[in-house]
Amino acid sequence: MYKGLTSLILLFAVNTATGSDIWQTLFKEKLQEASIGNSDAEYDVGAMYQNGRGVTADREQAIHWYQKAARQNNRKAISRLELMQANAARFEQEMKQATDGDTESQYELGNMYAKGVGTNIDHAQSRLWYEKAASQGHIKAGYKLGVIFHEGSGVPKNSKTALGWFRKTAEQGYAPAQYYLGKLYATGEGVKRDYATALDWFTQAVEGGFTRARDEMNDVAEKLKGRKQTSTSSGKTTTTRKTAANRRENTARKPSGDTFKLQDLMRATWNRDAEPITYLPSAINDCRIENQTIVCNTAARVRETAGNTIRYRTRSIISDFSEDGSFRVVYRNLVIDTTQPENSAGNEGEANKGYAIKTGWGKQHTLECNLKDGSTISCLKNRTHAFELVSQQKLVAGR
């Protein structure tokens, strides 16, 4: 079904190109397959036109390619055309109500323009309708404006403007806005860095049900704890103590090429719950040694969720090997595409159940790992989540 994916994987393995380059390459491959009548490729080209992946978003071109696939009885294309027709009718209804001043319709119209539901993707129109809704006190519309200016979606990135919108909606108790406001205070974007204020907003976000803020909340709490553990001597402030976490981190980051043989770690084929894992050498990874680090890239993977089928790859870098058998892993996932169930309603191009899945690179994750007994590795993910990895091959630390 995804013949062009092979070339994409090869491209990814040798070059960490930008997401734009990857999508352009994939679009050209799919277009070539579609030109000889491959109905699955015709559907994929339609989806890429619809969502602006590798090509400028064009709803009419999307419909054209979906129709070509549908004429070959491609069930996904038939379902997508039906969904697009329903959403076009919904768009017209929302436009009528929004023009009459309905705040919720103005907000929904902003969403539809942002995602290309019932119309072409148009960031300027999306922002316009969000502003209309926000001016009437719509909290989510104000939050969306904060995200737009924070990410620079269709506008120049402006952290101060984003800060203003996030603050306005966070003060009204909207947890996602509280999370972003915490991020701005933690990083010093658009405002003076203030870990205490960041912690307060992250905590409110977690208490409001936005669990995604928990990692940042714990991270900022650790930073504040480290600051408090400084002592003053002879009128001078010096750092005399460090947290156990900081000591472990410094120990783990002392490079030592002789800790245990990297080749052994490469051959061990690590698993979690009897399944090969994506961020250490395993049966699903292509790994290589580069200057006392291990770099791994997975083959294309598929993950099923309640509302999506996600195709993704994982790239990890394993480094900072220490004499005590500890090391560090940094990894990110690249979402290649996400397929909405055929009977779903709402957003034509992305899942609408649970949470939206974005294509491209995801959040960076960090593992602090220790070789436990030669065949077991214990890891702490993002300083909060502990788990173990196992291998049938036994390694020996300190060799």
Q: Give pairs for 94-102: CB < 8 Å, separation 24+.
A: 94/118, 98/129, 98/132, 101/136
pLDDT grade for 261, boundaries at 50, 70 and 90: low
pLDDT of residue 83: 92
Per-residue pLDDT, averaged over 235-261, amounts to 41
pTM over 0.75: no
pLDDT of residue 113: 93
* Closest by CA position to 368, among listed 334, 333, 332, 319: 319
Asked if residue 146 lies in contact with residue 169, where contact means CB atoms within 8 angstroms, the answer is yes
Q: Which amino acid is at 38?
A: N
Q: Give pairs for 365-368: CB < 8 Å, separation 24+.
A: 365/279, 365/330, 365/331, 365/332, 366/328, 366/329, 366/330, 367/279, 367/328, 367/329, 367/330, 367/331, 368/248, 368/249, 368/252, 368/326, 368/328
Tell which wins on pLDDT, 245 or 101.
101
Residue 241: pLDDT above 60?
no
% of the chain beyond a pLDDT of 70: 78
pLDDT grade for 305, boundaries at 50, 70 and 90: low
Tell which wins on pLDDT, 372 or 3.
372
Tens of pLDDT, residues 172-189: 999 999 999 999 999 999
pLDDT of residue 206: 87
Q: Mean pLDDT across the chain, nearest whole number?
A: 80
Give the C-alpha separation, 215 to 213, whole Å: 6
Residue 272: pLDDT above 70?
yes
What are the chain's domains? 5-73 (no CATH), 101-228 (1.25.40.10), 254-390 (no CATH)
Residue 322: pLDDT above 90?
no
Give the C-alpha separation, 172 to 162, whole Å: 16
Residue 149: pLDDT above 90?
yes
Tens of pLDDT, residues 69-106: 999 999 999 999 999 999 999 999 999 999 999 999 99
pLDDT of residue 186: 92
pLDDT of residue 344: 39
pLDDT of residue 123: 92
Containing H/E element for 174? Answer: none
Asked if residue 348 lies in contact with residue 377, where contact means CB atoms within 8 angstroms, the answer is no
Tell which wins on pLDDT, 181 or 306.
181
pLDDT of residue 251: 37
pLDDT of residue 10: 38
CA distances from 378 to 38, 328, 368, 393 (A): 47, 11, 8, 16
Token pair for residue 302?
A: 């598929």
